[in-house]
Chains A and B, each alone.
Chain A
């Protein structure tokens, strides 16, 4: 089973085996508890520490160990009962047609509603700077997710070093602006072009790699870029980063309290929120540009070739698709959007350092793409909202935040192994649409 759905629901033998089911659950829980006992006996049962004179002292914590094992036992039973209640994973649930049509309507309405809401966020939450900042952060990750989606979701090239392009974009803008005084609007395309160049640079050596091997090389690439930034002190300032990065202007009009600032020109009172709102709409525009370009490209032969490449490289070759250019354009396009996002990040922060571009960022963006459903634009946006927004939402839980986060991810992958929005919308429509929708027919790789 690779997460494919099973067409025929396996019927549970009704009441006949109620006792055997209970026995099965009990046995499974017992085994889990036993494994936990073995694992935790050293990890939790015995605590060691260096004593006052340097010798090793230890003491036992059997109550905690017992508690842990009991928790595993109870948890195992709970999981099994849940599974029983839900029925086997992957069965087709019979949904009444009314609910189905309502769901379909909701599915179609969600994207426009989300977009309208996003446009209204600065209006609704004008007084709440925290929400505006969070919105900018979420949109930045939506953009990064959409950018990476081109590489991972469409072309199927697993890229674990996406943060490198984000860094290239950020440093391009920071260095060009601080050294040459170029404006944000000139630097933005330059940052994209430079990042795209680096994308091609990464693409060339990995042309022949796929899957795990590709992932390792891209991971290394991300680290190389970060290490170069740290060590090339004369150019990048090393670990100290670049500070004093100019704020963006509204096509030359600065958003400052000065006499030539936007507020003065419009004759309204200056407020620092103006800049935040401006940044919000700026990243929204950039993200929408990413989305629009991706949707357009998907309908062109190049986008189709990306998806075909994800499906079957050998078949692409047989059809005469140029694998080299297809892969390189995917890397370059994804990297370019990463570069745009990086330039935005630099101008928003006003200060950048290598610490912002660790592997964790790559992993987070990749998680957004995978959770959203590879290749689905709406899914990626929802996943970014859930990941970044949800992460903030659980801030009150302190150290348990990561735990909640992990559990949520595991549950999501059990219920929706293909991501939030796992189905893929076709891009070619012919005059007459057929009665059979591809969603109704379950897939069976043959």
Chain B
């Protein structure tokens, strides 16, 4: 990604959102170009997940603007945003435990108007990316391991053939090796299919290595932005997110 195209796929302008009186986003600006992986890092409670959910319409933005492919989606209801082919893999995976893997995947396509052929193609693509899911197709979602559940959550989001995939903490609670597999899969998706990805992570090291660009969020504001490599070199990032843990 040497020269980013002029029109961003997603543009967020001075976005504010709140839960009751507690303001979680205090004027966020962010943009994602087509074909990019953008990482959003920050501490607990910085507002990363809120930003992702506000893009999806819940909580609703108090002020500011969200543009997707040039269209203002700030006031579009949640269930219609998915039809614009923005997909989300929520925090904590949230697969459907009593439904089979195949049913879980079908759920991803249900909200969009996919044809039967598109569903089949979607399944093939997910199974090519995560062969493990194919083996476990008839198994109940709740019987999968944590890593497999994360694969399922990503696979489910992919079933709607998204133009923008948003992942909330995909490495949460996973063993390092499994987390690497997940990140590799995201990289593959981006390189092979040109999928645009927004990834929210606590694991800053992994996320910034993977991403083309990154944003750092503190207390509801974007404090830093730059390419992944740049941010990795910043001393304050190293102190706060990469080496800080060793001392605490």
Contact = CB atoms under 8 A, between A and B. Distances in A.
B107 A319 contact: yes
Contact of A443 (B94, B142, B149, B156): B142
A443 B89 CA distance: 22
A217 to B, nearest CB: 23
Contacts of B156: 319
Nearest to A424: B98
Interface in B77-107: 78-83, 87-90, 94-100, 102-103, 106-107
Interface in B93-127: 94-100, 102-103, 106-108, 110-112, 123
Given A315-B90, A319-B108, A438 B96 contact: no
Interface stretch (B61-69, B132-140, B188-196): B132-140
A56 interface: no
A16 interface: no
Contact of A308 (B81, B83, B99, B143): B99
A386 interface: no
B215 interface: no
Contacts of B78: 317, 320
A444 B140 CA distance: 10
Contact of B135 (A305, A434, A443): A434
B139 A436 contact: yes
Interface in A421-446: 424, 426-430, 433-434, 436-438, 441-446
A304 B156 CA distance: 14
Contacts of A321: 79, 107, 110-111
Contact of A312 (B87, B88, B96, B103): B96
B160 interface: yes
Contacts of B140: 438, 441, 443
B138 A319 contact: no
A241 B97 CA distance: 47
B146 interface: yes
B149 A446 contact: yes
A179 interface: no
Nearest to B105: A428
A289 B98 CA distance: 26
Contact of A304 (B83, B97, B106, B149): B106
Give the bracket for the number of chain A residues in contact with chain B. 35 or more
Given A307-B96, A321-B111, A428-B103, A438 B90 contact: no
A445 B81 CA distance: 29
A15 interface: no
Interface string B124-166: 0000000000011111101111100100000011001000000
B238 interface: no
B58 interface: yes
Contacts of B107: 304-305, 308, 316, 319, 321
Nearest to A301: B110
Interface in A393-445: 424, 426-430, 433-434, 436-438, 441-445
A430 B102 contact: yes
Contact of B58 (A317, A319, A446): A317
A404 B106 CA distance: 45
Contacts of A427: 103
A318 B107 CA distance: 11
Nearest to B94: A315
Contacts of B95: 312, 315
A337 to B, nearest CB: 23
B99 A307 contact: yes
Given A315-B96, A318-B56, A321-B110, A304 B103 contact: yes
Contacts of B88: 318-319
Nearest to A326: B79
Contacts of A434: 135-139
Interface in A289-322: 301, 304-305, 307-308, 310-312, 314-322
A427 B140 CA distance: 12
A442 B111 CA distance: 30
Given A304-B103, A321-B79, A433 B138 contact: yes
Contacts of A442: 143
Contacts of A429: 102
B78 to A, nearest CB: 6
Contacts of B108: 319
A323 interface: yes
A308 B100 CA distance: 11
A319 B109 CA distance: 8
B82 A320 contact: yes
Nearest to A437: B138
Contact of B90 (A305, A318, A437, A446): A318
B143 A441 contact: yes
A427 B145 CA distance: 22
Contact of B83 (A316, A320, A437, A445): A320
B79 A430 contact: no
B102 A426 contact: yes
Contact of A446 (B79, B96, B144): B144
A310 B97 CA distance: 10
A430 B105 CA distance: 12
A315 B160 CA distance: 14
B100 A428 contact: yes
Given A318-B88, A318-B90, A441-B140, 5 more contacts: A307-B98, A318-B89, A320-B78, A438-B140, A446-B149
7 contacts: A304-B99, A319-B107, A319-B108, A321-B110, A434-B135, A438-B138, A445-B142
**Which 10 A-B residue pairs are closest in the complex by CB-CB distance?**
A320-B82, A320-B111, A315-B94, A311-B96, A322-B79, A301-B110, A426-B100, A428-B102, A318-B90, A318-B88
Interface of A: 301, 304-305, 307-308, 310-312, 314-323, 424, 426-430, 433-434, 436-438, 441-446
